[in-house]
Amino acid sequence: MLDWAIRLVVLVVLILSFNPSLILIRLPDPPFPLTARNQRCPLLVTILLLSFGFTACVSPSKEFDLDALESPRILNKAARYLKADPITVTANVCERSEGGPHDFYSEGDYWWPNPEDPTGPYVRRDGETNPENFIEHRESLIRFSDIMGTLVSAYALTADEKYAAHAVAHLKAWFVNPETRMNPSLLYGQAISGRHTGRSIGIIDTIHLVEVALGANRLEGSPSFSNEDRGAVKAWFRDYLDWISTHPYGLKEKQHPNNHGVCWSLQAAAFAQLVGDTEILAWIRKQFKEVYLAEMMDLEGGFPAELKRTKPYGYSLFVMDAMAGVAQIASVAGDNLWQFEMEDGRGMRLGMQFIAPYIADKDSWKLPPDVMYWEDWPVRQPCLLLAGYALAEPHYFSIWKGLEADPTVYEVLRNLPMRHPLLWR
């Protein structure tokens, strides 16, 4: 009863203080991605929100100002990136690649020369990265993703066209200019010496295009992004989305029963959002519920396929970040993947309840430490931030703020494709 009385007082104050026919109330920044920044709620909507306890337009933490937190980091990096020229796949060619200069190429991480047959096919050592691998294309893609994420975030903060213009220059180099563009396919990803010229799981390497696609979407209204260039960039993403949806490599990766399948959906969701493919987004929502939760998550919120690896901690972080990204992009009104739960409770809330304590206190991890890079995790895991908003759990913000925002270890960067939170709202 007291709760209803408080709401009634609020309504009376609103009505007495403003002209009811004109009132527009600016509410705090909403949880991602339900409303756009600077959206205003009419009085009728506000009354309904207050009366029925709907919190979609109310930030779960008044003390958490993401713009203020991100501004110094983003603007300092953006100043450096304004001087950075594009580096695409054509800048480095590996003699071991069966592709051409416009084809992305990488090599399987955990494959090594066979000590019993040094000139024969490589052998697998799970979790142990071969330092002799060709990684230049991966590094260029990671760099591109960071440049795009930083410049578009700076543009969102300042509305200064210099950031948008330089971001567009990088987009054109990667996707438009004939001399430097990357082919919209991935035939030569994660090759293995003596075994494969490319593999389906190589598609996970382009996960760093997720924030590139989000960035391109955020530049939609910029005068620096011409209709012609926008159309060409979208055409590239349309072609690549079609390729990963129809080529045997893409079809196999799409159904992969671990983090690879989730990462296929994360990429496809971002690309589909950019080009307006609602059918693929609907398929992803179905897959999220019927496979990622129903088949891949256990009753404690963990992912057994990741927990049995030699780097269970790092893989658990990685898959939960990817799940959060899929939930964030693919959710629609009436089908919110953040809120969906199986009858036994499996869902994003349970997944976060499993992993968040181990992010806050890694020493509480119950399994053996990862075979490599144990000391380099965690960093600012995006699942914490997105879940903090989507699930109204402000204590996740406190954990997130205390972690490293700009890691430099290659292995961490390779598995952290979501590093620019301003793109995700």
Question: Residue 140 corresponds to which amino acid?
Answer: S
Residue 13 has pLDDT above 60, yes or no: no
Residue 61 lies in a domain: no
Euclidean distance between CA atoms 420 and 263, whole angstroms? 17
Residue 215 DSSP SS3: helix
Q: At which residue do the structure tokens 């790092």 appear?
A: 314
Judge if 33 and 77 occupy the same domain.
Answer: no
Judge if 307 and 368 occupy the same domain.
Answer: yes
Residue 39 has pLDDT above 50, yes or no: no
Judge if 24 and 157 occupy the same domain.
Answer: no
Longest dimension (CA), the chain: 85
Residue 60 lies in a domain: no
Judge if 13 and 95 occupy the same domain.
Answer: no
Judge if 44 and 170 occupy the same domain.
Answer: no
Provide the domain limits for residue 301: 66-424
Using alpha carbons, list the distances in angstroms from residue 419 to 72, 344, 361, 398, 402. 15, 32, 21, 17, 15
For the record, the structure tokens of 148 come out as: 């795009």
Q: At which residue do the structure tokens 């060619």 appear?
A: 93
Q: Give this prediction's pTM.
A: 0.86
Domain count, the chain: 2
- Average pLDDT value over all residues in the chain: 89
Burial 224-244 (b: 16+ CB within 10 A, else e): bbeeebbebbbebbbebbbbb
Residue 58 lies in a domain: no
Closest CA to 129 of 311, 271, 357, 349: 311
Question: Residue 13 corresponds to which amino acid?
Answer: V
Q: How far is CA 80 from the centre of its chain?
A: 23
Residue 57 lies in a domain: no
Q: Which helix (H) or strand (E) holds 191?
A: strand 188-191
Q: pLDDT at position 61, please?
A: 55
Judge if 255 and 344 occupy the same domain.
Answer: yes
Q: What is the mean pLDDT of residues 283-290?
A: 98
Judge if 341 and 219 occupy the same domain.
Answer: yes
Residue 59 lies in a domain: no
Q: Which helix (H) or strand (E) holds 353?
A: helix 348-360
Q: Where are the alpha helices (DSSP H) in 88-226?
A: 136-158, 161-175, 210-218
Judge if 254 and 316 occupy the same domain.
Answer: yes
Confidence at 10, pLDDT banded by 50, 70, 90: very low
Judge if 84 and 48 occupy the same domain.
Answer: no
pLDDT per position as a tens digit, 292-322: 999 999 999 999 999 999 999 999 999 999 9
Q: pLDDT at position 42, please?
A: 43
Q: 48-62, 116-130, 328-342: which range is least confident on average?
A: 48-62
Judge if 19 and 125 occupy the same domain.
Answer: no
Residue 57 has pLDDT above 90, yes or no: no
Judge if 156 and 8 occupy the same domain.
Answer: no
Residue 137 lies in a domain: yes
ω into residue 407 within 30 of 0, thus cis? no
Residue 26 lies in a domain: yes
Judge if 298 and 348 occupy the same domain.
Answer: yes
Q: What percent of the chain has pLDDT over 90?
A: 84
Strands annotated E in 267-331: none
Cα atoms in the 13 Å half-sphere on the side-chain side of 65:
7
Residue 12 has pLDDT above 90, yes or no: no
Q: At which residue do the structure tokens 């035939």 appear?
A: 187
CATH number at residue 127: 1.50.10.100
pLDDT per position as a tens digit, 80-90: 999 999 999 99
Q: pLDDT at position 117, please?
A: 94
pLDDT per position as a tens digit, 166-224: 999 999 999 999 999 999 999 999 999 999 999 999 999 999 999 999 999 999 999 99
Q: pLDDT at position 425, please?
A: 87
